[in-house]
Amino acid sequence: MKLPLTLRRLMRRRIVMAAAAVLAIVAVMALAAPWVAGHDPNDTEVMARLQGPGAAHLLGTDELGRDLYARIVHGARYSLAIAALTATGAVLFGSLIGLVAGFFRRLDAPLMRVVDAMMALPDILLAIALVAILGATLVNVVLALVFVYTPRVARVVRASTLVVRELLFVEAVRALGVGTARILWRHILPNLMSPILVQLSFIFAYAILAEAGLSFLGVGVPPDIPTWGTMVAGSQQYAHQAFWVVLFPGLAIIVTALSLQLLGDGVRDLLDPRLKKSM
Amino acid sequence: MTMLPTIEPRGDARLSVRGLSARFATEEGSVCAVADVSFDLLPGRTMALVGESGSGKSVTSLSLMGLLPRSAHARVEGRALFRTRSGQLLDLLALDAPRLRALRGNELAMIFQEPMTSLNPVFTVGEQIAEGVRLHKGLGHAAALAHAKRMLELVEIPAAAQRLHEYPHQLSGGMRQRVMIALAMACDPSLLIADEPTTALDVTIQAQILELMQRLQRDSGMSILFITHNLGAVAHFAQDVAVMYAGRIVETAPVGQLFASPQHPYTQGLLRCLPGSERPHGAARPARLFAIRGQVSSPLAPPPGCAFAPRCDLAGADCDERVPPLLAIGPARQARCLRTPPLPR
C-alpha cells in the first residue's frame, strides 16, 4: 500500500527524517526501558560513585553510584510522558478555546482577553507559581504546564478559525442543513489540523524543556522520580568533578527537544502551501 | 391598478414572497439592502433575479435560506410562503432554526457562485454529498455513499466511482460546480436557489452547467430561483425575470416579453448595455458601448423617491416624491415606474 502523499513528502526531507528517527529511538528506548537499561535506575552503588563512562556503566554513575544510562532511559519515560500529557492537554483545551473564540464573535473578546492575560505572565514564572501553590507532584507539574501552554494553542487556533470560518464551504454546508456544532466539529476542526499538529510538536518540545527547568529550580517533579530535569538538578554540584552527570541527561534533553522542533518545522513547511515550492 | 404586495400569495406557487425587506445596521447607519421584494415562483419553473452587484439579489436569496450571517445583525421582514412536497405552507422567514435546518439541503437547496471554495478541502467529494443524505434521509454510511455515486452520475461526471473518493482540489472548476449541483440535488429539493452558479466558470462550461440544471429540472420538476447578472444566461434558462435595482424589484415579466419590450427605464438601459444589442432607432450597432449615466446611489443615502431617478432620462419632479409602487402593466408584468403606462382597468 502506498503511503499518503503528505507522509511521503515528509520522508523526503533528510533533516526531518533524521529528527523523526531520533525521536523513534528515544520513544522505543523509553518504552523498553526495563529491558534495555541493564541496571535498576535507583540501585545505589556507593563504591562506584561518580565513575566515568566505561564498560561497567556505559555512561558512568552519579553521586550515589546510580547508573546514568539506566536513569536516562527510565527518565525518558517520565520526561516524555510529562511532555506528551502536557502537549495533549494544552492542544485539547487550547483548540477548544480557540475554536469557540474564533467562531462565535460574541465570545471572542472575553475569551481572548483571558488568554492574553495568561500570556502576559512569563511561562516559567507562571509554572513555578502554579506548582508552588498546587504542590510539587507529577500531576501538578503537568497541570501547571498545560495551563501555561493552553493560551499559545488558543491564539493560533483562533487565528486559523477566523480564516476558515469565512470560507464559502462553511456557508455551503449550512445551506445543506448542517447544525453549528457539527460544522465546528466535522468541517472546521479538520481544516485546522495542520496548525494544531505543528503546535502539538512544538509544545511537546517546550514541555520537555520546561519540565527540566522546573525540576532544575526545585519546583518540579519530586527528586525520587528520575526525569532528565531532576537528574541535572540533583547532580549539578558534582559537575566540576564528573561532567558526565549533567552532560548526558542534558544531551538527552537537547537532542529530544531539538528533534521535536525540527519535526515541527518540517510538518509546518509541509502543510503550508506557501512554503511548498521551496521544498 | 393592483398593487402586488397586498394581494394574497398564489395558491399554486412553490414560493410566494411578499414584502421581503432586509436591513443591516452599520457604523454609518441603517442600510436597506432589500426592500419590498415580492414575487411568485411556480413549480417546475425558473425565475431569474437579475441586477448588478449590490442590487440585493444575494441578500434576497440568503434571507430566504436563513443564511444571513448573525453577525450582520440583519432585520428581515415580510413573508416567504414555501409549499413543501407534502403541500404544507411554511413561512421561511418565520421558521425557527431547527425546522429551517431540516428544510435546508432537503427541500430547499442552494448552489453558490464559487465552486473553488464551496467544497470542504479536507473531505472527499463522496463524503460531502453523503453528509446531506445521511442528515436528511437517515441513510447509513454505505447507502449514502452509493447514493452519492448515483448523484455524481446524474450530474454527468465521468468515472463517478473513482471521483467519489477524490478531494475537491483534484477537480476542475466545472467539475466542482457539478459536484455542488450533485450536493444540492442529493435530497431531491423542490426549490433550488442558484446564486450566480456560472459566474466563476468559463463560457463553454457555463452552457454545460446551465443545460445540466435544465435537464435536472425537467426530470425532477423543481423550481429554480436563478440569481445572475448574466442576461444571456437569463434568456436561455429562465421563464420569468425579475429585475432588481437598489434593493427593489423594478420590473417583472416573462422572459420573452422582457427582452422584446423592456418597460422600466432601468431595464431598457440594461439591455442597451449589452454589446451587440441594437439601438432602438436605426443604427445596427452602436459605435460605443452604451452605459447608463451616473452611479448607483449610496444605500446609506437613498434618493427619496425612485432610486433610479438620478440616472433616468425620463425622471421629473414627481419621481422624487415617493417610491413608485410596483404596478401591473400587462397580464403577467409589473413595473415600478411612474412613466410606464399601467394596465388599463
Q: Give the chain B residue whose CA is nearest to the CA of A104.
A: B71
Q: Give the chain A residue whose CA is nearest to the CA of B119.
A: A169
Task: Tell whether B117 is within 8 A of chain A (Cβ).
Answer: yes
Supply the pLDDT for residue B345. Answer: 55
Record: contact A175-B110, CB cut-off 8 A = yes
Distance (Å) from the C-alpha of residue B174 to the closest C-alpha of chain A? 16
Separation of alpha carbons B217 and B231, rounded Å: 20
Distance (Å) from the C-alpha of residue B116 to the closest C-alpha of chain A? 9
Q: Give the chain A residue whose CA is nearest to the CA of B120.
A: A169
Distance (Å) from the C-alpha of residue A177 to the closest C-alpha of chain B? 4
Looking at domain A5-278, its CATH class is mainly alpha
Supply the pLDDT for residue A93. Answer: 96
Residues 6+ apart with CB under 8 A from B188: B220, B222
Record: contact A178-B180, CB cut-off 8 A = no
* Preferred mutation among A169, A171, A189 to probe B, highest tally of B CBs within 10 A: A169
Separation of alpha carbons B191 and B254, rounded Å: 19
What are the two backbone dihedrals, phi and then psi, of residue B94, each rounded to the nearest 5 degrees?
-110, -5
Residue ranges of the alpha helices (H) in chain A?
5-12, 14-31, 33-36, 68-103, 105-120, 123-134, 138-165, 168-175, 180-182, 193-216, 228-235, 244-271
Residues of chain B scoring pLDDT < 50: 1-5
Cross-sheet strand order for the sheet of B29-41 = B29-41, B15-26, B74-83, B89-91
A138-181: pLDDT as tens digits: 899 999 999 999 999 999 999 999 999 988 899 889 888 888 99
What are the two backbone dihedrals, phi and then psi, of residue B333, each rounded to the nearest 5 degrees?
-130, 145
Q: Which of the four pLDDT bands, split at 50, 70 and 90, describes residue A11?
A: low
B248-270: pLDDT as tens digits: 999 999 999 999 999 999 999 88
Helix (H) or strand (E) holding B108: strand B108-111
- The alpha carbon dihedral of B160, B162, B164, B166 has a sign of negative
Supply the pLDDT for residue B127. Answer: 92
Record: contact B121-A169, CB cut-off 8 A = yes
Separation of alpha carbons A250 and A234, rounded Å: 12
Supply the pLDDT for residue B60. Answer: 93
* Number of Cβ pairs < 8 A linking chain A and chain B: 65
Supply the pLDDT for residue B1. Answer: 37
Amino acid at A240: H
ipTM of the complex as predicted:
0.77
- Least CB-CB distance to B122: which of A175, A179, A191? A191
A108 vs B8 pLDDT, higher one: A108
Supply the pLDDT for residue A279. Answer: 38
Q: Are strands B89-91 and B74-83 parallel, antiparallel or unpaired?
A: antiparallel
Task: Tell whether B63 is within 8 A of chain A (Cβ).
Answer: no
Q: Are the C-beta atoms of B135 and B95 separated by less than 8 Å? A: no
Supply the pLDDT for residue B2. Answer: 39
Q: Is the pLDDT of residue A188 over 90?
A: yes
Distance (Å) from the C-alpha of residue B109 to the closest C-alpha of chain A? 7
> A6-15, A234-243, A252-261 — which one is most confidently predicted on average?
A252-261
The CB density around residue A236, as the number of other CB atoms within 10 Å, is 12
Separation of alpha carbons A131 and B99, rounded Å: 50
A interface with B, Cβ–Cβ below 8 Å: 105, 167-169, 171-179, 186-187, 190-191, 193
Helix, strand or coil for residue B215? helix
Record: contact A177-B105, CB cut-off 8 A = yes
Separation of alpha carbons B123 and B168, rounded Å: 8
A39-92: pLDDT as tens digits: 787 777 777 777 777 777 777 777 777 888 888 888 889 889 999 999 999 999
* Preferred mutation among A166, A176, A197, A271 to probe B, highest tally of B CBs within 10 A: A176
Average pLDDT, stretch A214-231?
Answer: 85
The residues spanned by each domain of chain B are 4-107+187-335, 108-186
Grid coordinates representing B199 are 459566474
CATH no., domain B4-107+187-335: 3.40.50.300
Q: Is the pLDDT of residue A122 over 80?
A: yes
CA B103-B227-B197 angle, to 5 degrees, is: 85
What percent of chain A lies above the pLDDT cut of 90? 34
Separation of alpha carbons B48 and B231, rounded Å: 9
Supply the pLDDT for residue A150. Answer: 95
Record: contact B106-A193, CB cut-off 8 A = no
Give the length of chain B. 345
pTM over 0.90: no
The CB density around residue A18, as the number of other CB atoms within 10 Å, is 13
Mean of the per-residue pLDDT values of chain A: 85
Task: Tell whether B16 is within 8 A of chain A (Cβ).
Answer: no
